[in-house]
A and B are shown apart, each in its own frame.
Chain A
Amino acid sequence: MSRVTLLSLQILVAVVALALWQFLTSVPVFGKILLPPFFFSNPVDVFSQIVNWFYTGVIWKHLAITLWESILAFVIGSAAGILVGFWFARQPRVAAVFDPYVKMANALPRVVLAPIFALWFGLGVWSKVALGVTLVFFIVFFNVYQGVKEVPTTVLDNGRMLGMSERQLMRHVYWPSALSWMFSSLHTSVGFAVVGAVVGEYLGAAAGLGYLIQQAEGTFDVGGVFAGMFVLSAFVILIDMAVTVVEKRLLVWRPTVAPRD
């Protein structure tokens, strides 16, 4: 399939879906409107809501808050994950002792922590960051742990035979290997940072995309809920594209990501 055909088919899907949505919410079929606008809104209303948000500029504040929370959650969660991942991988005894608790903590659905974090950190930015950190931490932690553990013995022996000290092995062998594993899960961890922020906002906040959606829902403004969802997915897609660019630069040495020549 050529690029043009593919793109036009992709656009066609959106057009058909939107048309169907508009049709079913506004034109009676057999004397009955199948999707009552009160529950399903309609594309025109949703679109005008989005335009209104951007036109009046109210959306920027919420976008900025959500972005800031996501960034903080990602940075703090990654730093902690790298630190603990390295520590556990280099100290198998520590890892063995903590193993059941790590599994337990990771098994817990993080949403249930949101009320506690709201109590501890208030309704501001930090309770959302805390929620995002608990999500990001485990992904980065597991990947770094694996990355340090999975350095091929031959590469390690080669480093030793070339005269590397433990510190040099850390810098030239373990660290790049761990980072490559972490980067390969960059999409997931960045995505989870956003999830943490939005879910946190939804459950109690004064600003952010999650708050916006929650507010609309509270006033039975279904159009507002859909508008918030569309803005949120566009936001996530943009972040994901940025991650792809970063990833391509960081993992040039990887056969799967680097362009073939």
Chain B
Amino acid sequence: MTGPTAVALDNATVAFRLADGRVYTAVEQANLAVAHGEFVAIVGPTGCGKSTLLNVAAGLLKPAAGTARIFDKQLSGLNRDAGYLFQADALFPWKTAIDNVAIGLEIRGTPRAEALARAQKWLGSVGLGAFANRYPHMLSGGQRKRVALAQVLIRDPKILLMDEPFGPLDAQTRQIMGNLLLELWTADRKAVLFVTHDLEEAIALADRVVIMSAGPGARIIGDWRIALPRPRDISEIRMEKDFHALHREIWSVLKDEVMKGYVQSSQAGAA
């Protein structure tokens, strides 16, 4: 690993109190470190607490035990160094695309004219230069994700937290968004923590793939370095031999957890 640790979770345990008073442990004693400039993907079966872990790193959730450290400082309150890309639509529906992007600068005190100029540039970078005055509902799902990406990146956060950001998109749009993300990331290599349930997407994007077990009490059970060369093309890289070897290796571990998670969730559904 090179450089300081951007995100470090030490024995982080996350628990929720359920409506009936019982305590549900979502994640148990997770240890995870993301180096400066490193792209780490977390993969796990549905409902294993991947997003929970991300929310701890964002400071949106407090761990029941253990700590989260950001650049070697213990995190209390929100993580001010991080930009967060949500799975669901998180744009402000009452603001146009350009206002949505500019807001991150405006609330910091940047004069409006300058904020708008820079927002227009960022919209250009995500390929939406001509859509500045559209409201979110006038954009497609993929376009909204692009605006959200620009909204987060314009603040130039040192850490990028992404919660299945391309989950709701169709397969082709996902690949295009993946390539866009890599292109923007290569420009200034932020630390990225990327949560997904799609192993192929994880391998294609990341430097490291971390596997979580099925919940409750999910743990980190595997950590693979993805030594595939960069720059990568998401759609091309899937054809390569090394990709297949890695995929087979990681999937052999993940498969059992996915089955466990499936059985548990179907039992929970029946109960």
Q: Are B89 and A154 in contact (CB under 8 A)?
A: yes
Q: Are A162 and B107 in contact (CB under 8 A)?
A: yes
User: Within 8 Å CB of B13, what residues of A?
Assistant: none
Q: Are B94 and A155 in contact (CB under 8 A)?
A: no
Q: Are B89 and A258 in contact (CB under 8 A)?
A: no
Q: Are B155 and A176 in contact (CB under 8 A)?
A: no
B86 at the interface (CB under 8 A from A): yes
A164 to B155, CA, bound (A): 12
User: Within 8 Å CB of B82, what residues of A?
Assistant: 161
Q: Are B135 and A253 in contact (CB under 8 A)?
A: yes
Query: Is chain B's binding surface mostly helix, strand, loop or mixed?
Result: loop
Q: A160-B78, A163-B104 are in contact. Are A172 and B92 (CB under 8 A)?
A: yes
A164 to B60, CA, bound (A): 14
**1/0 contact string of B93-108 vs chain A (CB within 8 Å):** 1111000000110011
User: Within 8 Å CB of B79, what residues of A?
Assistant: 161
A215 at the interface (CB under 8 A from B): no
Query: Is chain A's binding surface mostly helix, strand, loop or mixed?
Result: helix
Q: Are A157 and B93 in contact (CB under 8 A)?
A: no
Which one of A157, A162, A177, A252 has the greatest number of beta carbons of chain B within 10 Å?
Answer: A162
Q: Are B107 and A161 in contact (CB under 8 A)?
A: no
Q: Are B95 and A162 in contact (CB under 8 A)?
A: no
**1/0 contact string of A217-261 vs chain B (CB within 8 Å):** 000000000000000000000000000000000001111001001
A260 to B86, CA, bound (A): 27
Q: Are B137 and A255 in contact (CB under 8 A)?
A: yes
A252 to B89, CA, bound (A): 19
Q: Are A162 and B104 in contact (CB under 8 A)?
A: yes
Q: Are B138 and A164 in contact (CB under 8 A)?
A: no
A48 at the interface (CB under 8 A from B): no
**Interfacial residues of chain A within 132-189, with CB under 8 A of chain B in the complex:** 152, 154-155, 157-165, 168, 172-173, 176-177, 180
**Interfacial residues of chain B within 59-99, with CB under 8 A of chain A in the complex:** 60, 78-80, 82-84, 86, 88-96
Q: Are B60 and A162 in contact (CB under 8 A)?
A: no
Q: Are B107 and A168 in contact (CB under 8 A)?
A: yes
A258 to B136, CA, bound (A): 12
Q: Are B108 and A252 in contact (CB under 8 A)?
A: no
**1/0 contact string of B37-60 vs chain A (CB within 8 Å):** 000000000000000000000101
B151 at the interface (CB under 8 A from A): yes
Which one of B83, B94, B152 has the greatest number of beta carbons of chain A within 10 Å?
Answer: B94
Please count how many residues in chain A sit with their CB below 8 Å of the partner chain's CB atoms: 24
Closest CB-CB distance, B227 to chain A, in whole Å? 32
User: Within 8 Å CB of B95, what residues of A?
Assistant: 172, 253
**1/0 contact string of B120-163 vs chain A (CB within 8 Å):** 00000000000000011110000000000001100100000000
A51 to B152, CA, bound (A): 64
User: Within 8 Å CB of A163, what residues of B?
Assistant: 80, 104, 107-108, 155
Which one of A152, A154, A168, A255 has the greatest number of beta carbons of chain B within 10 Å?
Answer: A154
User: Within 8 Å CB of A152, what residues of B?
Assistant: 88, 90
Q: Are A180 and B94 in contact (CB under 8 A)?
A: yes
Q: Are A154 and B86 in contact (CB under 8 A)?
A: yes
Cβ contact of A162, chosen from B93, B96, B103, B137, cutoff 8 A = B103
User: Within 8 Å CB of A165, what residues of B?
Assistant: 107
Q: Are A158 and B135 in contact (CB under 8 A)?
A: no
Closest CB-CB distance, A259 to chain B, in whole Å? 10
Residue of B nearest to A259 (CB): B138
User: Within 8 Å CB of B138, what residues of A?
Assistant: 258, 261
A237 to B152, CA, bound (A): 46
User: Within 8 Å CB of B84, what residues of A?
Assistant: 157-158, 161
Which one of B86, B92, B96, B104 has the greatest number of beta carbons of chain A within 10 Å?
Answer: B92
Closest CB-CB distance, B119 to chain A, in whole Å? 13
User: Within 8 Å CB of A254, what residues of B?
Assistant: 93, 137
Residue of A nearest to B93 (CB): A253
Q: A158-B90, A161-B83, A163-B80 are in contact. Are A252 and B135 (CB under 8 A)?
A: yes
Q: A253-B95, A261-B138 are in contact. Are A158 and B86 (CB under 8 A)?
A: yes
Q: Are B107 and A164 in contact (CB under 8 A)?
A: yes
User: Within 8 Å CB of A252, what residues of B?
Assistant: 135
User: Within 8 Å CB of A155, what residues of B?
Assistant: 90-93
The 4 closest A-B pairs by CB, nearest first: A158-B90, A255-B137, A253-B135, A161-B84
Q: List 7 A-B contacts (CB under 8 A).
A: A152-B90, A158-B84, A161-B83, A162-B103, A252-B135, A253-B136, A261-B138
Q: Report B's interface with A, CB cutoff 8 A.
A: 58, 60, 78-80, 82-84, 86, 88-96, 103-104, 107-108, 135-138, 151-152, 155
Q: A155-B91, A161-B79, A253-B93 are in contact. List 9 more A-B contacts (CB 8 A).
A: A162-B104, A162-B151, A162-B155, A163-B104, A165-B107, A173-B92, A254-B93, A258-B135, A261-B138
